[in-house]
């Protein structure tokens, strides 16, 4: 296996010893960019890169930049340290075609990752303490070359069940996380509202009043720094319209889509991932491309209908330069690939060399 994030190793092992595969080797000569673009006020060589996830620290981000991924997201951080779920985190997920949103039948998942194009993602959003991740995130910002951009992803953490005024504390934790990320010097922030590990049934992005409150407080704290919201797949058009209506005047764009949830089982029918709360896990890669494209199309229509100038980042199942082109055609201003980039670390260079984008 030659993935730069090696899913057979623990998160800690990847963090300490990665990146692996092609990202550990000297970078190839990159093609001259054919489609420079302006993204959130920044000139980028190509509006393409790797979303929050496999770039767990500055060494991974630096390697991604060197390999021609021009807009990359440093994996989601929190205001306090949190351990990763134990192995396995990423399994091969055997879906025939598309993974349906809200599928109730179990889906077969196993360790046969070689050749897999859809995988699970069950990490629990680990984080180091800010004292450790802030200088590392600053190093990732510094690793961006000319025409490259580092985005810092963060999320809030629920206070303890017996904490007083839990909602106010939850909002405050988001603001504190945003301030710490801004302090690290990132030029763009991304707020993860779609963390499947905080409960797949009740993702924060579906709670519009709470999101509006969090986003207003975060924006007040970070001022003019561009802020993206990372969304899950909305099955209901009206719900997505309400979310956009409540936040488009505050934020600078939306990134969609995060993983789709599925109940993963092994060949024996038992849960594929060990431990309570991991029966349902996020699926990414080929099987969810339809969901990312659908979300981008709907966000683009809402943007047009309301005349709102927000940016759209298309994510989900981008395995080839053609998939990237499909996202651009659907209305994405930038496109990102996590699973596809791990499988093919040459994807950034391939997109850089494409004929001019639409």
Ligand X SMILES: Cc1cc2nc3c(=O)[nH]c(=O)nc-3n(C[C@H](O)[C@H](O)[C@H](O)COP(=O)(O)O)c2cc1C
| Residues in touch with ligand X (CB under 6 A) | 5, 51-54, 75-76, 90, 121, 123, 125, 153, 192, 230, 258-259, 284-285, 288, 315-318, 337-340
* Residue written as token pair 């075609």: 97
Whether the Cβ atoms of residue 237 and residue 318 lie closer than 8 Å to each other: no
b (16+ CB within 10 A) / e for 318-337: bbebebbbbbbebbbbbbbb
- Closest separation in Å from C-beta 11 to ligand X: 9
Residue among 314 and 331 whose Cβ is closer to ligand X: 314
- Closest separation in Å from C-beta 49 to ligand X: 11
User: CB count, 10 Å around CB of 111?
Assistant: 15
Residue among 2 and 36 whose Cβ is closer to ligand X: 2
- Closest separation in Å from C-beta 33 to ligand X: 21
Q: Where do the H-state alpha helices sit in the chain?
A: 11-17, 58-66, 130-143, 166-183, 208-222, 237-247, 289-306, 321-330, 339-343, 347-352
- Closest separation in Å from C-beta 126 to ligand X: 8
Whether the Cβ atoms of residue 171 and residue 214 lie closer than 8 Å to each other: yes
Residue among 230 and 303 whose Cβ is closer to ligand X: 230
List residues bridging with 254 in a β-sheet: 229, 312
- Closest separation in Å from C-beta 260 to ligand X: 9
Query: Quick one: 60 exposed, middle or buried, by C-beta within 10 A (0-12, 13-18, 19+)?
Result: buried
- Closest separation in Å from C-beta 93 to ligand X: 11
Residue among 152 and 331 whose Cβ is closer to ligand X: 152
Residue among 34 and 117 whose Cβ is closer to ligand X: 117
Residue 19 CA to residue 114 CA, distance in Å, equals: 18
Residue among 261 and 340 whose Cβ is closer to ligand X: 340
Residue 8 CA to residue 110 CA, distance in Å, equals: 12
Residue among 317 and 331 whose Cβ is closer to ligand X: 317
- Closest separation in Å from C-beta 283 to ligand X: 9
* Residue nearest ligand X (C-beta atom): 53
Residue 5 CA to residue 8 CA, distance in Å, equals: 9
What does the block give as tokens for 291? 């969901």
């Amino acid at each position: 296996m030659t993935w730069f994030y090696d899913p057979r190793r623990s998160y800690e092992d990847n963090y300490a010893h990665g990146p692996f595969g092609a990202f550990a080797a000297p970078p190839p000569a990159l093609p001259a960019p054919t489609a420079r673009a302006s993204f959130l006020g920044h000139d980028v060589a190509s509006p393409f890169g790797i979303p929050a996830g496999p770039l767990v620290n500055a060494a991974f981000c630096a390697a991604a930049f060197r390999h021609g991924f021009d807009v990359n997201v440093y994996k989601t951080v929190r205001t306090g340290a949190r351990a990763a779920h134990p192995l396995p985190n990423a399994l091969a997920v055997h879906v025939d075609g598309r993974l349906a949103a809200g599928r109730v039948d179990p889906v077969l998942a196993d360790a046969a990752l070689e050749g897999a194009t859809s995988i699970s993602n069950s990490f629990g959003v680990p984080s180091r303490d800010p004292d450790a991740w802030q200088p590392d995130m600053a190093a990732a910002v510094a690793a961006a070359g000319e025409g490259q951009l580092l985005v810092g992803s963060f999320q809030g953490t629920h206070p303890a069940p017996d904490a007083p005024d839990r909602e106010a504390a939850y909002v405050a934790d988001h603001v504190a996380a945003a301030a710490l990320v801004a302090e690290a010097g990132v030029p763009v922030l991304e707020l993860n509202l779609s963390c499947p590990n905080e409960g797949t049934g009740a993702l924060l992005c579906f709670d519009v009043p709470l999101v509006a409150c969090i986003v207003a407080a975060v924006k007040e704290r970070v001022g003019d720094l561009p802020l993206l919201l990372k969304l899950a797949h909305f099955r209901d058009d009206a719900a997505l319209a309400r979310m956009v209506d409540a936040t488009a005047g505050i934020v600078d764009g939306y990134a969609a889509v995060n993983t789709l949830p599925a109940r993963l089982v092994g060949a024996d029918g038992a849960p594929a991932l060990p431990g309570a709360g991991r029966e349902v896990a996020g699926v990414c890669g080929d099987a969810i491309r339809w969901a990312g494209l659908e979300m981008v199309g709907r966000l683009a229509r809402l943007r047009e209908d309301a005349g709102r100038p927000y940016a759209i980042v298309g994510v989900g199942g981008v395995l080839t330069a053609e998939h990237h082109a499909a996202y651009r055609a659907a209305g994405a201003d930038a496109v990102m690939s996590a699973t596809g980039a791990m499988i093919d670390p040459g994807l950034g260079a391939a997109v850089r060399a494409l004929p001019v984008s639409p």
